[in-house]
Structure 1
Amino acid sequence: MKYIRSFPVELVFWVLALVLLATANPHEHHFSLCPLANLGITWCPGCGLGRSITALFHGDVNASLAQHWFGIPALLLIGYRIYQLSKQLLKKEFKLKY
């Protein structure tokens, strides 16, 4: 029960999100979770961010910038957050064992 409370949900979420974006096809239309897009509004400040990160994973920087200008900084921020959470988890695991 103790492990369930300390399960790193945020770390798993970010890693899984990046894995899914890395394996997605950037040229394929996909379902959007954006509530504005689902309501039929054509402009949203966040739309294209996932496609931008997907294009980065596929090495297409120009397409990434065309989809959303914040794709590169977002990927760096998510990567840094994964690093922080991993470091915190390893520190906690090391402290519990020894």
Structure 2
Amino acid sequence: MKKLFNRYAELIIWIVALVCLAFTNPAGQSHFSLCPLKALGFTWCPGCGLGHAISYLFRGDIKNSFHAHWLGIPVLFALLYRIYVLIIARPYRFN
């Protein structure tokens, strides 16, 4: 039961994260950020770059996505595959 809950929790987290990235504006200058490196005053963060890259991909802007972080495209495909696996995966039954 615990593994089933963990699987659904992970599925919800990834879907919510991708939906949030789909609706954010990567070019907008927001004063609020959850990034701990940005809060410490750093201007560059690999996590922020991946988020911007995925957000640009949802807008179809491949050039800016690659410029934000070159791993954005593979990470998006990996996350979509992980969501697919979490939806399709059947719990094993040992009889």
Question: In which range does the TM-score fall when normalised by the shorter chain?
Answer: 0.7 to 0.9
| Amino acid paired to 2:23 | T
Structure 2: runs of 5 or more not aligned: none
Q: Which residue of 2 aligns with 1:37?
A: 38
Question: Aligned-pair RMSD on alpha carbons?
Answer: 1.7
Structure 1: runs of 5 or more not aligned: none
Q: Deviations over 1:36-63 (max 9, x none)?
A: 1110022323222111101000000001
SS in 2 for 1:43: coil
The TM-score with structure 2 as length reference comes to 0.80
Q: Which residue of 1 aligns with 2:81?
A: 80
Q: Distance in 1 between matches of 2:27 and 2:67?
A: 13
Corresponding pairs, count: 88
Q: Percent identity?
A: 51
